[in-house]
Each structure stands twice: as structure tokens, then as C-alpha cells.
């Protein structure tokens, strides 16, 4: 399962922060509460800890980018992602049957088209 890393509220009047430095790279293992990145606001410079143990799957915000409080900064895969990956191909399988009804919907749409053309002629 993936865990989202968000920018926490860092003070009453703080509404945004700037990512100054990532302490971990994508693909690296992180432990819960381990410093993950550094953030700077107009009031404070601080480290943001990892909310869970796992692998840093993706970094959503680049260094020197400013984001709002609550914005997703990164995603950590806590290791239970294997079932989710197995579910992804299963999600693709229903997409193929969904394509079969689409041509069926196009056929009725094609029938009214000649009727619309008849009054125009």
C-alpha cells in the first residue's frame, strides 16, 4: 500500500513551504520518522519525517518548489504494494471488455446520423 507524504501545518499562519532539499532519493529505503526532506517557510526551516517505513516510490515536488500545506510531496510504498501491483493488471483486464460495449454504443449513434442527414438534404 502506498503512503502519501504531505506538507504538514508548520504554524498557525504558515500556508506554504518550499522544499529545500531531499534527504532521500526515489527507490531508497526509509524508516518511519526518519528525516525525508527539508522545508523552508517564512517562519521556520525544518525536516519532514517519513510517515511510514518503506521505499520512496516517487517524489512529487522538486527541490526549490513551493507548495501549499497539505500538498502531496512524495509517495512511500510500504511493501504491501505487491497485491496492488497484481490488482493493476486485473484493472486492465476489465478495460478490454469495456471497449467491446463501446462499438455497440457507436452503432446506435450511427443510426441517428443518417436521419439527421436526410432533413438537411
Domains and CATH numbers, the chain: 2-81 (2.40.50.100)
Give me the half-sphere count of Cα atoms (radius 13 Å) on the Cβ side of residue 41: 19
H/E run at residue 112: helix 112-120
Phi, psi of 23 (to 5 degrees): -90, -15
Q: What is the pLDDT of residues 75-97, one digit of tens each?
A: 999 887 554 343 344 444 444 44
Distance CA 1, CA 7 (A): 20
Three-point CA angle 102, 106, 107, nearest 5°: 120
Q: What is the pLDDT of residues 94-117, one digit of tens each?
A: 444 444 444 444 444 444 445 555
Q: What is the pLDDT of residues 17-52, one digit of tens each?
A: 999 999 999 999 999 999 999 999 998 899 999 999
pTM: 0.64
Amino acid at each position: 500500500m502506498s503512503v502519501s507524504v504531505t506538507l504538514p501545518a508548520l504554524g498557525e499562519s504558515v500556508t506554504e513551504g518550499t522544499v529545500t532539499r531531499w534527504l532521500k532519493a526515489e527507490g531508497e529505503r526509509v524508516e518511519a520518522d526518519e528525516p525525508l526532506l527539508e522545508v523552508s517557510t517564512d517562519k521556520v526551516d525544518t525536516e519532514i519525517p517519513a510517515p511510514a517505513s518503506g521505499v520512496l516510490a516517487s517524489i512529487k515536488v522538486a527541490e526549490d518548489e513551493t507548495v501549499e500545506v497539505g500538498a502531496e510531496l512524495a509517495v512511500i510504498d510500504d511493501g504491501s504494494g505487491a497485491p496492488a501491483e497484481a490488482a493493476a493488471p486485473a484493472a486492465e483486464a476489465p478495460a478490454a471488455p469495456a471497449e467491446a460495449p463501446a462499438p455497440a454504443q457507436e452503432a446506435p449513434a450511427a443510426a441517428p446520423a443518417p436521419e439527421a442527414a436526410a432533413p438537411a438534404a
